[in-house]
């Protein structure tokens, strides 16, 4: 399996991206039947706040992973970036669970703030997050299937530089969306 992924990084990244984004848009669009999911109201209430903590942790972890590679510590970079991806995946699973059952978060602020600040900010956050998914799968599959000495012969570094910056911006913007929806203008 590792050899297949190694030999087909773009294909595997594309398939993983399509599946992941289909789940995201399926949950947000109400296409995942909530009646088939176990419902835990205490968990549903805490997910946005726990995901905010995961977002901050992901930001820190991404920055640490970048620091490790700048210091040529490949092993710590690999472990830290894998941890960042696991944090992201955990965030995403919890987010999808909540959205599939409750739908997207309501915004309780004034309509002009909603239309001209919150919604454009949310749209940019979603756009960046969608762009990040295939980039992350691409660098992750290279990082997991190539020998460290072979990675410089790939686009891992070039794509990784773009991916981590967009990933950071998406997490920061997501944190701001959380603050607006749950603390500044709660529904």
Measured CA to CA, the distance from residue 103 to residue 64 in angstroms comes to 33
* Distance in Å from the first CA to the final CA of the chain: 47
Length of the chain counted residue by residue: 187
Contact yes or no for 19/134 (Cβ under 8 A)? no
Domains recognised in the chain with CATH numbers: 2-184 (1.20.120)
Quick count: other Cβ atoms within 10 Å of Cβ 160? 25
Contact yes or no for 113/62 (Cβ under 8 A)? no
Please list the pLDDT of the chain residue by residue as tens digits (187 residues).
889 999 999 999 999 999 999 999 999 888 988 889 999 999 999 999 999 999 999 999 999 999 999 999 999 999 999 999 999 999 999 999 999 999 988 999 999 999 999 999 999 999 999 999 999 999 999 999 999 999 999 999 999 999 999 999 999 999 999 999 999 999 8
**pTM tops 0.75:** yes
């Amino acid at each position: 399996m590792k050899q297949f992924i190694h030999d087909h990084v773009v294909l595997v990244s594309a398939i993983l991206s399509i599946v992941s984004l289909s789940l995201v848009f399926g949950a947000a669009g109400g296409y995942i039947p909530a009646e088939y999911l176990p419902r835990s109201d205490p968990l549903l209430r805490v997910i946005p706040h726990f995901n905010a903590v995961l977002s901050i942790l992901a930001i820190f972890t991404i920055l640490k992973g970048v620091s490790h590679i700048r210091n040529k510590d490949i092993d710590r970079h690999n472990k830290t970036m894998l941890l960042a991806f696991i944090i992201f995946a955990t965030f995403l699973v919890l987010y999808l669970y909540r959205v599939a059952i409750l739908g997207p978060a309501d915004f309780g602020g004034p309509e002009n703030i909603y239309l001209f600040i919150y919604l454009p900010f949310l749209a940019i956050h979603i756009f960046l997050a969608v762009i990040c998914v295939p980039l992350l799968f691409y660098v992750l599959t290279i990082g997991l299937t190539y020998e460290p000495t072979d990675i410089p012969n790939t686009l891992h570094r070039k794509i990784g530089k773009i991916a981590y910056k967009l990933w950071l911006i998406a997490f920061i913007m997501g944190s701001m969306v959380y603050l607006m929806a749950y603390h500044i203008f709660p529904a």
